[in-house]
Structure 1
Amino acid sequence: MKKIPLLLICAGLFSTQTFAAADPVNLNCEATLQQDYTPSDFIDNHDGTVIDLRTSLTWSKCTIGQRYELASNTCSGSGAISYATWEEALIATGAYSINNISDWRLPNIKELGSLIDRSCAAPAINLTLFPNSISSIYYTSTPYKGDSDGTLPYSIAHLVSRVIDFSNGTEIPFSQHDSSLTTYAVRAVKGGYR
Structure 2
Amino acid sequence: METTPSAEFTPLEGGAVVRHERTGLEWRRCPEGMNWNGSGCDGNASWMNWQTALQHAHDLQGWRLPNINELRSIVEFCRRGPAVNQHVFPDTPSSIFWSASPVAGYSDRAWSVHFARGNDFWNPRGNDTRRVRLVRGGQ
**TM-score, with structure 2 as normaliser:** 0.90
Q: What is residue 162 of structure 1 aligned with on the other side?
A: 111
2:25 alignment partner, one of 57, 63, 66 = 57
Deviation of 1:86 (Å): 1.1
Q: What is residue 90 of structure 2 aligned with on the other side?
A: 131
What amino acid is the match of 1:119?
Answer: C
Q: How many percent identity over aligned positions?
A: 29
> Following the alignment from structure 1 to structure 2, what is the Cα–Cα distance between the partners of residues 43 and 146?
38
Q: Deviations over 1:108-133 (max 9, x none)?
A: 00001000001111110001001101
Aligned partners of 2:94 and 2:116 also within 8 Å: yes
Which structure's relative contact order is higher, taking Cα pairs within 8 Å and 6+ residues apart? 2
1:190 alignment partner, one of 119, 136, 139 = 136
Query: Which structure has the bigger radius of gyration?
Result: 1
Gapped runs of 5+ residues in structure 1?
Answer: 1-33, 97-101, 148-157
SS in 2 for 1:88: helix
1:87 alignment partner, one of 48, 51, 58 = 51
CA RMSD of aligned residues (A): 1.8
Q: Deviations over 1:65-97 (max 9, x none)?
A: 00111xx33211x321001x210111112223x
Q: What is residue 66 of structure 1 aligned with on the other side?
A: 34
Aligned partners of 1:164 and 1:170 also within 8 Å: yes
What amino acid is the match of 2:135?
Answer: V
Residues 163 and 55 from structure 1, CA distance in 2 versus in 1: closer, same or farther, beyond 3 angstroms?
Answer: same
SS in 2 for 1:103: coil
Aligned partners of 2:83 and 2:118 also within 8 Å: yes
What amino acid is the match of 2:113?
Answer: I
Gapped runs of 5+ residues in structure 2?
Answer: none
> Following the alignment from structure 1 to structure 2, what is the Cα–Cα distance between the partners of residues 146 and 75?
37
SS in 2 for 1:43: strand
Q: What is residue 8 of structure 2 aligned with on the other side?
A: 41
SS in 1 for 2:27: strand
